[in-house]
Chains A and B, each alone.
Chain A
């Protein structure tokens, strides 16, 4: 039963390990996964600590429903103070690690301090060990996982690992498991590197028990059928997230050449159908019926042979549209490189695209780039820069510190061209025609980010009565409108916070599919799995609590309303091309500010974005930090 699962406190400096049960009260307030991680982050990371110091704490959490055979229940949440933004660091990873951790007896890990030399954690059936990792240091993410399996003579060992980028403290280094699953955003791999922690390996054979196993089995089938009955999931099963490109590129919702155009001209080679040339089949995470990623092989060319998984729509933007590379093969090679080195695909592509525009504008030149010609569409330069960033060599060393530091070092008005919020790169999406999506990236607690609250279904222009049914209030079905969009963002924030906390896949709730499992279904799954009863309203309140404690963390770090904004170009430059609905659009500053105030009011925050006293009381957040779960002294 979930109540038997423990939290382990691991201090890498003192090598002390303590374990504890997780109180039921915490489950009721935060469920698990991201929820409990955010609670722990607020409680255990002291204000203003350096993200790379031993005082920063790394949190790993499985979702409340981890292990059920439905809806991709293998999600794992990893958190710390972010070395990219200085705000909430939080990244969600699929694959098979989370269930293995739970099978090994643990739901949450709290990792503090810094090891004297490289180590990895070995977690097996109730025990946690700190092991030597000298032999793993310097190895890539794939080799590291294989070596840990070999060391333990067990093919079923699952690991979270960092590559050379994490070792070299690249600010946006990711954490990988498997061939493609990555906790990419906010630099969690950098935090692992700063602790000399190369990997966290788990292997378990302990039962995951449920309150009503027979009913749960039947309901899981029903849930899988529900998601597979959506067209979104069926398209995903065949093309993966690349399918989004066909729509967004046609419409003109994709940023190209950093932020100069909103559509990739002659970008046909990046159409998802072209993956037929390289795919050998699809691959799924634990408990997933959708299986949205390709297993692909590059048999020819200078970089062959490559076997890899993906690429996501994100990588198609990072190494395709944003840098004006028009060949699928470029994306496939670059995707493999970032995963091998352990770099966040999006931050890497976003920074390179920015540097290319600076080069074009003459803000930087070949002296700054150590001879590299940062020309649009030059794949050799792209691969070279990815390698330089991971190894902190040449011009790549400057980019390896992320937007905030690079902007400060380059100066000369370079900030204007940086498509980042709170220090983190935006997706290759252009939100100027879509105010709801713009509000989403402006307010996200972890910096420019589509996965915190994107109301992607706004793009479908759904009937207004259906939108009202979903969101509870009147919402315009016109995606270029500002009407009702603050409510959309708020609703999605709550839904995604709960999804990340029960540990299910966001693609299997209302993200791109309208008729996907959501509140009622989540409540029933929780009830059958754990016996805990929640109403829809109560679950929404849990989502609100999680989002608010993230907000409180950021406020404590000095973030405020001024940071909930968009890059200047969103307000100043119009979209140059696209279908009539997307062309000639920019964000209206007054309407945006009005929408932001509306959004604060819906949250029960004041005009400056501070949660009101009564809001905190209502959400039982007025006593935080309360340290309801803590290491016994």
Chain B
């Protein structure tokens, strides 16, 4: 008697070569297909249960709508609780135009009113009326998917629950035989999954939704309790109902398979770029700037945005502590004028307290904004504020999902983190393993003053400087100065200036000394040259005298020889004696 029709053909034909894998019907719901390993079991019923207001109806409706819009699978929505008018109105806010799908023949909305209580039970009955209605709805639309929301309402309409239960069991068997992928919703019972134990009949896949409030922030969670014949994520996954429907956020990311870029993005501080091996951060990397209060983290972040906008790129600034006006004013005071970028639409601020949204809402909204604005760089200032709305483990899980998202999009992100007091490294440890570059800004106390220093704690894949730099906030933005390392340790601030002055003074002294020596030498050279000149003059004089004397001497010898020759001639001496005479003359 039961209206039956042929089992969906692809259920049997699709399996032969892949016996191990269960055919699945993708839900199209963001994240849910990842968690379920591809979707809900095709051609079988899935139970979605949870307390009132946890989003069962919306999840189920989106399953149908995505089936129509993305997978060409028409659907039937059987509503036991809401009228079709209410349904249409309720999901219109998600952008689902049910009336349009109805008009196109892709969707059948079937409201079934279960009259309460006073139906007299006069004997044997079955639910063939329901079967016929469902069968007709499935046939008219050629539906591959069906949602029954919420079937337990039937328990209010019938007093003979034994018959009802056996009929429900028959219903699920019938749905299977029709080969439609069904989603059955049910209210959570007291200590049981569902109020009337429906889970006994729907055993292929059970999804539990939950709605918890912790620290005044509500979080929706989804868990795959059971998925017969399939691997599935076993965690509780946060999910959201946003403007575009349900989003399940798998905590474990699908895998680290981002494409990476070797391009560098300037930090906005030239000296810092060179500290990072020249060029700045890697494009698409995640940077953490940690530090205690008032160390200039936000300024570093603002300058990073400033640099990006100067290159004509879009930047998005998420601020959890200051308003846009405050940031603009404060940054202008240190010479970082962001207003032109805001006016040009290159820079966008999103300023809100983190507890406005909750962790999941936060992640979701950010992803939405990022998708809409499509910035090249983003800043979150500070991520440590998120710890107010979740445990460190939750925050780090959320951030890791966010980092994955950013990396997949190639967005360079700068997170600042406020360290509380002395345990600077410990408090950030949940985050630091996620980031590629970690800069630490801290204050050093000495000589009665606090001075900021910056150093690179880690920077994956670049030859970064190991030097500490003094971090100065000037009227022209951030400047990094070398610090002096002396016997007393690192010198900053006035001590550095004193050291600088001291070295200047020492230098001047040395210079004077040198000049003195140089002029002394010059004078000495002049003296030496003068003395040398005098000596030469003496020498020349002597040489002249000697020369003269020599000339005089030779004249005399010639004279004497002449005289002797004269005398000899006069005495008639023979010429032989001449040699003798010459000899004598020479002696």
Partners in one complex: no
